[in-house]
Amino acid sequence: MTEPHLFELSHVGRCRAELPDVDVPLAEIPAALTRPDLRLPDVSEVEVVRHYTRLARLNISNVNSLQSSGSCTVKYNPIVNEEVAGLPGFAEVHPYQSTEDLQGVLRVLHDLGNWLSDLTGLPAVTLQPSAGAQAQLAGLLMVRRYFEHRGDAAQRDTVLVTTTAHGSNPASAAMAGYHVVTIPQGRDGTLDLTALRAALSRRVAVFMMTNPNTHGVFEDRAVDVADLVHREKAMLFLDGANLNAIVGKVRVADLGVDLAQLNLHKTFSTPHGGNGPGAGALLVRSDLEPYLPTPVVSQREDGMYTLDRVRPLSIGRVRSFYGQFGILLRAYTYIRAQGASGLRQQAEDAVLHANYLFRRLRDVYPSVYERDCMHEFLVTAKHLKTYGVTARDIGRRLMDYGYHPPNVPPRLVEEGLLIEPTETESVESLDAFADALVAIAREAETNPDLVRSAPHTTPVRRLMPTRPNGVPDVAARLAP
Amino acid sequence: MPYLASTNKDRAVMLAAVGRSSVDEFFASLPNHGHMQTSTIPEPVGEFELVAAMANLAATNRVVLRDRSFLGAGAYRRFVPAIARYVASRPEFYAPYALSHSEVHQGTLQALYEYQSLLGVLTGMQCVNASLYDGASACAEAVLLAKRVTGRADAIVSGALHPEVQEVIRTYAYGQGLQVRQVPWSPATGAMSAEEIARQLDPRVGAVVVQYPNVFGVIEDLLPLAEQVHAAGALLVVYADLVALALLKSPGDSGADIVVGEAQSLGLTVSCGGPSLGFFATRMDYLDEMPGVIVEACQDGEGRRGFAVRDYGARDRSLLRERAVSNVGTTSTLPAITTAAYLAALGPRGFRRVAELSFHRTHYLAERLSALAGCRVRFSAPFLGEVTLELPCRAAWFADGLRRRGFLAGLPLGGWYSGLDNCLLLGASECTAREALDHFAEACLAQLAEGRTSRGTAEVAGLGSVSL
Q: What is the pLDDT of residues B422-456, one digit of tens each?
A: 999 999 999 999 999 999 999 999 999 998 875 55
Strand-pair partners of A34: B248
Tens digits of residue pLDDT in A128-155: 999 999 999 999 999 999 999 988 756 8
Determine the Cα–Cα distance for residues A144 and A156; give it in Å rounded to an integer: 8
Total structural domains in chain A? 2
Q: Are A250 and A374 part of one and the same domain?
A: no
Are residues A381 and A309 located together in one domain of the fold? no
B292 to chain A, closest Cα gap in Å:
10
Q: Are residues A261 and A286 in the same domain?
A: yes
- Give the HSE-up count for residue A373: Cα atoms under 13 Å, Cβ half-sphere: 33
Would you call A235 helix, strand, or coil by DSSP? Answer: strand
Between strands B278-282 and B127-128, the pairing is antiparallel
Domain-terminating residue out of B295, B315, B341: B341
- What one-letter code names the amino acid at B71? L
- Does the beta-carbon distance from B348 to A476 stay under 8 Å? no
Q: Residue A447: what residue type? A: N
pLDDT at B59 over 90: yes
A456: amino acid identity, one letter:
H
- Which residues in chain B touch residue A57, judged by CB atoms under 8 angstroms apart? 92, 107
Same domain, residue pair A330 and A421: no
| Co-location of A400 and A270 in the same domain | no
Q: What percent of chain B has pLDDT over 70?
A: 95
The pLDDT assigned to B462 comes to: 45
Q: Same domain, yes or no, for B128 and B186?
A: yes
Residue A467 pLDDT: 83
Beta bridge partners of B182: B157
pLDDT above 50: residue B466: no
How close A20 comes to chain B (CA, Å)? 7
Q: Is residue A314 part of a domain?
A: yes
Confidence of residue A410 (pLDDT cuts 50, 70, 90): confident
Average pLDDT over residues B107-124: 98
Separation of alpha carbons A315 and B172, rounded Å: 9
For A340-381, the pLDDT digits (tens) are: 999 999 999 999 999 999 999 999 999 999 889 999 999 999
A55 Cβ under 8 Å from any chain B Cβ? yes
Residues A204 and A304 in one domain: yes
Same domain (yes/no): B353, B437: yes
Q: Is the pLDDT at B108 greater than 90, yes or no?
A: yes
Residues B99, B178 share a domain: yes
Interchain CB contact of A401 with B (< 8 Å): no
Looking at chain B, which residue has its C-alpha nearest residue A22?
A: B357
- Inter-chain touch A168–B329, beta carbons under 8 Å: yes
Last residue in a domain, options B341, B372, B387: B341
Instruction: Tell me, yes or no, whether A375 and A422 share the same domain.
Output: yes
A38-42, A106-110, A160-164, A462-466: which range is least confident on average?
A462-466
**Closest approach of A382 to chain B, Cα-based (Å):** 21
CATH code of the domain in which B405 resides: 3.90.1150.10
- Whether B172 and B203 map to the same domain: the answer is yes
> Residue B468: is its pLDDT beyond 60?
no
Residue B182 has what pLDDT? Answer: 97
Q: Bridge partners of A299?
A: A305
Give pLDDT, residue A247. Answer: 96
Same domain, A119 and A85: yes
Q: How confident is the model at residue B316 (pLDDT cuts 50, 70, 90)?
A: low
Q: Hey, is the C-beta of A443 within 8 angstroms of any chain B C-beta?
A: no
Residue A315's alpha-carbon distances to A140, A141, A320, B108, B440, in angstroms, are 10, 7, 14, 36, 40
Q: Is residue B358 part of a domain?
A: yes
The pTM of the full predicted model, rounded to 2 decimals, is: 0.97
Mutate one of A5, A11, A18, A19 to test the B interface: name it (highest B CB count within 10 A). Answer: A19
Phi-psi group of A32: left, alpha or beta (phi > 0 → left; psi -120 to 50 → alpha; rest → beta): alpha
| Residue A5 included in any domain | no
A61 located within any domain? no
**Cross-strand partners of B132:** B278
Residue by residue, DSSP assigns B206-274 as EEEEEEES-TTSB---HHHHHHHHHHTT-EEEEEE-TTGGGTBPPTGGGT-SEEEEE-TTTT---GGG-
* Residues from chain B contacting residue A316 (CB–CB below 8 Å): 167-168, 170-171, 174
Preceding peptide of A405 cis, ω within 30°: no
Kindly state whether residue B53 falls inside one of the protein's structural domains.
no
Is the pLDDT score of A120 beyond 50?
yes
Q: Domain range spanning residue B395?
A: 348-456
Confidence (pLDDT) at B461:
53
For residue B11, being part of any structural domain is answered with: no
Residue contact A27–B36, C-beta within 8 A: no
Both B337 and B354 in a single domain? Answer: no
CA distance B394 to B404: 16
Q: How far is CA B322 from CA A227, B172, B316, in A?
A: 26, 16, 11
Residue in B59, B117, B430 nearest the CB of A476: B117
Same domain, A237 and A381: no
Q: From chain A, pick out residues whose CB is under 8 angstroms from the CB of B270.
A: 91-95
**Same domain for A285 and A211:** yes
Categorize the per-residue pLDDT at A409 as very low, low, confident or very high, splitting at 50, 70 and 90: confident
> Do A29 and B382 count as a contact with CB atoms less than 8 A apart?
yes
Q: Which domain holds residue A400?
A: 340-452
Question: Same domain, yes or no, for B150 and B171?
Answer: yes
Which of the residues A47, A114, A292, A317 would you substitute to probe the B interface, choosing the one with the greatest number of B C-beta atoms within 10 Å?
Answer: A317
Give CA separation, A397 vs A120, A226, A458, in Å.
39, 42, 10
Please check whether residue B43 lies inside any domain of the structure: no
In a domain? residue B19: no
Say which of A34, A96, A328 has its CB closest to residue B248.
Answer: A34
Q: What CATH number corresponds to the domain at position B318?
A: 3.40.640.10
Residues 320-339 of A with CB under 8 A from B: 320-328, 333-339
Mutation pick from A12, A130, A239 vs chain B, by most beta carbons of B within 10 Å, is A130
Q: How many independent structural domains does chain B possess?
A: 2
Q: Does A59 score more than 80 pLDDT?
A: yes
The percentage of chain A sitting over the pLDDT mark of 90, rounded to a whole number, equals 91
Distance CA B126, CA B235 (A): 16
Q: Which of B4, B50, B117 sits opposite A80 (nearest CB)?
A: B50
Per-chain mean pLDDT for chain B:
94
Strands in B258-262's sheet, in edge-to-edge order, are B127-128, B278-282, B258-262, B235-240, B205-212, B154-158, B179-183
- CATH value at residue A124: 3.40.640.10
Question: Does residue B463 register a pLDDT over 70?
Answer: no
Flag whether residue A50 sits within 8 Å of chain B, measured between CB atoms. Answer: no
Measure A274 CA to nearest chain B CA, in Å.
4
Q: Is position B312 within any domain?
A: yes
The mean pLDDT value for A319-332 works out to 98
Is the same domain home to B254 and B388?
no
Strands A463-465 and B295-300: antiparallel
- Verify whether the Cβ–Cβ distance A339 to B63 is below 8 Å: no
Residue in chain B nearest A105 by alpha carbon: B61
Q: How does pLDDT run across A270-280, given as a tens digit for each residue?
A: 999 999 999 99
- CB contacts of A246 in chain B (<8 Å) are 27, 30, 34
User: CA B416, CA A424: separation in Å to the nearest integer?
Assistant: 47
Q: Are residues A174 and B327, on separate chains, in Cβ contact within 8 Å?
A: yes
Q: Quick one: A311 and A441 in the same domain?
A: no
Comparing alpha-carbon positions, the chain A residue that sits nearest to B320 is A167
Q: List, in sequence order, every residue forming a beta bridge with A158; answer none if it has no partner.
A: A179, A204
pLDDT in tens, B226-242: 999 999 999 999 999 99
> Of B286, B315, B341, which residue constitutes the final position of a domain?
B341
Which chain B residues have a beta carbon less than 8 Å from that of A176? 175
CB count in 10 Å sphere of residue B178: 22
B113 with B172, same domain?
yes
Do the bridges between strand B258-262 and strand B278-282 make them parallel or antiparallel, or are there none, so unpaired? antiparallel
Helix (H) or strand (E) holding A281: strand A280-284
Q: CATH number of the domain that A399 lies in?
A: 3.90.1150.10
Residue B163 CA: distances (Å) to CA of A321, B155, B157: 11, 15, 10
Burial A137-162 (b: 16+ CB within 10 A, else e): bbbbbbbbbbbeeeeeeeebebbbbb
- Are B388 and B317 in a shared domain? no
CA dihedral B151, A135, B75, A31 (to 10 degrees): 10
Evaluate if residue B7 carries a pLDDT over 60.
yes
Tell me, yes or no, whether B132 and B258 share the same domain: yes
Taking CA–CA distances from A222, the nearest residue in chain B reads B30
Cα dist. B467→B367, B438, B449 in Å? 17, 19, 9
Nearest by CB: A319 against B103, B120, B136: B136
- Do B169 and B311 lie in one domain? The reply is yes
The reply to whether A246 touches chain B by the CB within 8 Å rule is yes
Q: What is the pLDDT of residue B98?
A: 86
The pLDDT assigned to A284 comes to 98
**Are B373 and B316 found together in one domain?**
no
**Residue A347 sits in the same domain as residue A251:** no
Residue A30 lies in a domain: no
Residue B368 has pLDDT above 60, yes or no: yes
Answer yes or no: do B95 and A77 touch at CB < 8 A.
yes
Instruction: Find all residues with CB under 8 Å of A457, minimum gap 6, and list them.
Output: A399, A400
pLDDT the model gives residue B313: 54
